Chain A
Amino acid sequence: MSQKRASWASSIGVILAVAGSAVGLGNFLRFPGQLAQNGGGAFLIPYFITLLIIGLPISWLEWTIGRYAGAHGHGTAPGAFNILFRKPWAKYLGSVSLLAIMFIAFYYVYLESVMLGYVFYSFTGLLPEMAANGQSGEFFAKYLSFEFKLFGVPAAILFFLITIVANIGIIARGVSGGIEKISKILMPILLFLGVILLVRVLTLPGMDQGMAFMWNPDFSALTQPKTWLAAAGQIFFTLSIGMGAIINYASYIKRDQDITLSALSANATNEFAEVILGGMIIIPAAAAILGTAALTDVANGGTFGLGFITMPAILAQLPLAPIFSVLWFFLLFFAGITSSLSMYQPLLSFCSDELKWSKRQSLSMLSIMSLVMGIYVALDSSLNTLDEIDFWGGNLFLLLFGTIETLLFATHIDSKKGWLELHKGSHIKIPTFYRFILKYVTPTVLIVILVSWIITEGPARFMMTYYPPEVRPSVFLTRMILVAIAIGFNLLIAYAWKTHNHDDKLNIVLEDSIHD
């Protein structure tokens, strides 16, 4: 091993960092809508089944891949796949995870900055005031179209810059000094803010109708494939799997440290934030304040509608509206920043582990990339650019990478050796039937989900008929930019391997191989 890798200072630290990566906007904004639209309480049946047969196995798989790769000097999927699967093409398949994470970061950090802007305008009172007059949609539109200015600069751009600086500043301090420390501070605050808001919502008269709207089961939804796809999609989106973030975080764990219980604990924290906090705040609050007639529209409003338009309108009706508005958007901002750190860190790790760039070079490159692509996303206030990038990075590539890694693990890894690797230093023993699930069930189910998803979502997206005709040229331009980035990134991988002879490590680690 050429140089000593950084490592986490404590097991709680890594659990909170991974949980922070998983707890994001999806928990608070996406989950309640998915639950209400897909059979209410009955949605939890496919949700928990996919958690058990997809979510947990892939989590354990990614923690195992990450810790193993980290022990051999790699922190991202291209390096990890090269060393695990020992095939020249494997590193290129690994690029899917980094492309997913990069594409998501292009828009996610911008959305995170919008939360920060909302915190500011909640504090000044402008947002609660406009929302109380039924103008939360107008506020959102004005914010996105740069009409609000601070010191002569569009507020959206100013808060975006602050958010980038905050993210880069934290990861510059390293894994234990930056991400771990901030996760230990922000995660408890986030959960505490969530509990305060939960108590406030549960004490609102009429909130029980929202609970009924969300949780009363409609079992007929279970016969519809879209319910199962929605459940699998939610599990993917919520657990941070399929994007290589866990692989990277786990690469900083020492080889003899537990990963089985840590993975379970991180997922448990995420589920607390999602089902208990996310599932109980928005829709019961909407029922109590907007009335039951609005619930269907609220549930179908989508992530942005719920987060940026409906929720400010709801909060504006509460006594002490600015305070609750600040709390809510701080909660979302904290959830966002702990997630975006897990997007930047793998990219930083790729630059340092594979390209051997200095930290300064890597951070500069990340900052420039975030700034340019973030502003490109921000310039389209209709959010079609964001939507297009989200389709590729936040949906297709996540599912694709999840399928690739489970398939490769099933076909190229000795399952007994893989199982032993997972249990090195383990605090718990995972039931043995999970070996069967990981080898056969998870890849099969993922293939079915991926194919079904492509059949149902693909044609309209691939052919761009999903978009109005007038925006298709700009969507096409975005797509070409993404293709260019994907090609360029794979060329960088080829360059890194050629220049730094990463394949030499394959000989060194042969005796430690878990290859079949």
Chain B
Amino acid sequence: MTKLFTSLLLITLLIPNFSFSQENPTYEITGAGMFFMIFAWSAIIIWNTVCFTKILSKKDK
């Protein structure tokens, strides 16, 4: 059931089956690794900025 659910989600998302250098013994960061890191950081910083700007602007009114 869970496998079916997971597979359905994967198909829905059309995640490409890339392979990256996780097994690389020197652990050099890949473009995809950098992408995920920067994406996560940016998304969360923007999310915080938008929310708190809005909260503070409502507080002023």
Contact = CB atoms under 8 A, between A and B. Distances in A.
B35 A41 contact: yes
A268 B55 contact: no
Given A41-B36, A210-B27, A224-B6, 8 more contacts: A45-B13, A48-B43, A218-B20, A229-B2, A264-B51, A275-B44, A292-B25, A427-B55
User: What's the dominant secondary structure at chain B's contact region?
Assistant: helix
B33 A211 contact: yes
A271 B43 CA distance: 10
Contacts of B18: 217, 219
A48 B17 CA distance: 19
B3 to A, nearest CB: 6
**Dominant secondary structure at the A interface:** helix
A217 B2 contact: no
A120 B18 CA distance: 48
Interface string B4-32: 01110110010111111110111111101
Which of B16, B35, B55 gathers the greatest number of chain A CB atoms within 10 Å?
A: B55
Contacts of B37: 41, 211, 215
Most buried by B among A10, A217, A225, A452: A217
A42 to B, nearest CB: 7
A233 to B, nearest CB: 13
A228 interface: yes
Contact of A292 (B2, B27, B29): B27
A258 to B, nearest CB: 7
A212 B59 CA distance: 41
A362 interface: no
Contact of A215 (B13, B36, B47, B55): B36
A15 B32 contact: no
A420 interface: no
Contacts of A42: 36
A12 interface: yes
A258 B29 contact: no
B51 to A, nearest CB: 4
Interface residues of B, number: 45
Given A211-B29, A222-B15, A292-B25, A261 B36 contact: no
Nearest to B37: A215
Interface in A204-224: 208-213, 215-220, 222-224
A375 to B, nearest CB: 39
A228 B6 contact: yes
A486 interface: no
B55 A41 contact: no
A41 B45 CA distance: 17
Contacts, number: 134
A6 interface: no
A41 B26 contact: no
Contacts of A222: 6, 10, 15
Nearest to B29: A212
Nearest to A224: B6
A219 B19 contact: yes
A276 B42 CA distance: 10
A265 interface: yes
Contact of B41 (A15, A225, A275, A448): A275
Interface string A214-249: 011111101111001100000000000000000000
Given A217-B36, A218-B22, A15 B1 contact: no
Given A272-B48, A427-B55, A448-B1, A216 B29 contact: yes
Contact of B30 (A48, A216, A229): A216
A128 interface: no
23 contacts: A12-B56, A211-B29, A212-B27, A213-B27, A215-B33, A216-B24, A216-B32, A217-B33, A217-B36, A218-B20, A218-B22, A223-B6, A228-B2, A228-B5, A229-B2, A268-B52, A272-B44, A275-B41, A276-B41, A276-B44, A279-B40, A292-B27, A452-B2
A451 B15 contact: no
A215 B34 contact: yes
Contacts of B58: 11, 258, 261, 427
A208 B28 CA distance: 8
A11 B32 contact: no
Contacts of A212: 24, 27-30, 33
A212 B37 CA distance: 10
A12 B55 contact: yes
Which one of B2, B10, B56 has the greatest number of beta carbons of chain A within 10 Å?
B2
A225 B7 CA distance: 9
Nearest to B17: A219
Contacts of A215: 29, 33-34, 36-37
B36 to A, nearest CB: 3
Interface string A259-292: 0011011001101100110010000000100001
Contact of A41 (B5, B33, B52): B33
A49 B9 contact: yes
Contacts of A40: 22, 33, 36
A217 B51 contact: no
A292 B22 contact: no
A261 B54 contact: yes
Nearest to B31: A216
Nearest to A209: B27
A355 to B, nearest CB: 35
